DNA sequence: TTGGGTGCAAATCTTTTGCAGGTGT
DNA sequence: ACACCTGCAAAAGATTTGCACCCAA
């Protein structure tokens, strides 16, 4: 079994993640951390994020249509992604654990973890849209409609 | 607004998805459908899956560490992925709608959809593992342990 | 006829990996 | 000294896209 050694880069990556709450991508962390370590490589960032995630020190979040994001908060909680501004935010007021237990009690296999991601329009974008609509009457979040054959 | 035209390829892709329950990747569909359309290209499969998903005729499923999968069943239901065999299966006995409403009622933005994915060991792999363990005493699903510094 | 759809291949984006040299223990 | 870790760059994997031709409406 491989023994883990200390590395300044790994510590910096971990700390960077602890000090921000925007659920950054590997590249966002890379850009930020390069201020402190100008020579760090993106590969190192990926390697350490993957390692920290395997160790359970951070969380990797995979969602539809976007690059993986990382979260320094490992307490069980859910996430929301805004399809307007792309922001990912915490949704920690829903009891996911109860939900997970409910599933586990009726499932024959073993449930180890559960990912819950909500998609929609975030409070800020919704507010902006409502202000606009009050003026123009148009709804810029309306999904495009197509003329559709059966398939 | 673009008008949609019928295409045999799109119909075949849609039907292929309706007739299977293994939550295939784009490539799996491509391989299967090539029996009927030897000249179809992977790009066409991707384009149509994306289109059908936008139209709400099928569902795209994004999960950790695997290629996107597609589901012909658009009724709200959750999924489970086995980390041993990689199979993705339905978990439709949990009331996700209630869960989604619970979240929506306490959230200031608009929740449009919700993805719930469970990860663990599927019933079949669990059974096999238990049979093996009864003989050898070893647990092949034990996660590797590392000696860990603070970070 | 016209504009959407297709096949093909190249491009893009994200993430992983091989290698040679650096560093923690 | 011995692994582990890093930077660099190339590779890999998944998905998208430009283009010329084809086909449904």
CA angle B27, B32, B36 (to 5 degrees): 130
Average pLDDT estimate for B121-147: 76
CA distance B37 to A54: 42
Q: Which residues of B touch A56 (CB under 8 A)?
A: none
Q: Which residue of B has its CA nearest to A118?
A: B114
Together in a domain, B62 and B87: no
Q: Is residue A138 part of a domain?
A: no
pTM of this prediction? 0.90
* Per-residue confidence (pLDDT) for residue B133, from 0 to 100: 82
A100-127 as b/e: b if 16+ CB within 10 A: beebbeebebbbeebbbbbbbbbeebbe
Q: A123-149: per-residue pLDDT in tens?
A: 999 999 889 888 765 666 665 555 556
The protein residue nearest nucleotide C15, judged by CA to C1', is: A46
Q: Do B109 and A122 touch (CB under 8 A)?
A: yes
Rounded distance in angstroms from the CA atom of residue B39 to the C1' atom of nucleotide D20: 17
Q: B76-88: per-residue pLDDT in tens?
A: 999 999 999 999 9
Higher-confidence residue: B144 or A12?
A12
What's the DSSP call for residue B3?
A: B
Q: Is the CB of B68 under 7 A from strand D?
A: yes
CATH number at residue A41: 1.10.10.10
* Per-residue confidence (pLDDT) for residue B132, from 0 to 100: 83
Q: List C-alpha distances in Å: B55 to A53, A63, A69, B119, B124.
A: 35, 20, 27, 28, 35
CA distance B98 to A79: 17
Q: Is residue B119 part of a domain?
A: yes
Q: Rounded to a whole number, what is the distance in angstroms from the first to the last CA of chain B?
A: 53
Q: A94-124: per-residue pLDDT in tens?
A: 777 888 888 899 999 999 999 999 999 999 9
Q: Which residues of B touch A4 (CB under 8 A)?
A: 146-149
Q: Is residue B82 part of a domain?
A: yes
Together in a domain, A34 and A87: no
A86: containing domain: 75-131
Count of structural domains within chain B? 2
Together in a domain, A46 and A82: no
Distance from CA of B3 to the nearest CA of A (A): 5
Q: Is residue A86 part of a domain?
A: yes
CA distance A68 to A150: 35
pLDDT band at B144 (very low <50, low <70, confident <90, very high): low
* Per-residue confidence (pLDDT) for residue A93, from 0 to 100: 74
Together in a domain, A111 and A64: no
Together in a domain, A64 and A13: yes
CATH number at residue A80: 3.30.1490.190
Together in a domain, B36 and B56: yes
């Amino acid at each position: 079994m491989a023994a883990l050694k200390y590395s300044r880069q790994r510590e910096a990556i971990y700390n960077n993640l602890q000090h921000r709450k925007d659920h950054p991508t590997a590249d966002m962390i890379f850009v930020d951390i390069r201020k402190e370590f100008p020579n760090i490589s993106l590969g190192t960032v990926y390697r350490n994020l993957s390692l920290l995630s395997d160790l359970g020190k951070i969380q990797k979040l995979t969602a539809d249509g976007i690059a993986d994001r990382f979260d320094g908060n490992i307490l069980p909680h859910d996430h929301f992604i805004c399809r307007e501004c792309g922001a990912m935010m915490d949704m920690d007021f829903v009891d996911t654990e109860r939900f997970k237990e409910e599933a586990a009690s009726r499932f024959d296999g073993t449930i180890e973890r559960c990912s819950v991601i909500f998609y929609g329009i975030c409070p800020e974008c919704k507010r902006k849209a409502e202000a606009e609509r009050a003026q123009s009457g148009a709804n810029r979040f309306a999904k495009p409609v197509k003329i559709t054959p059966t398939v």
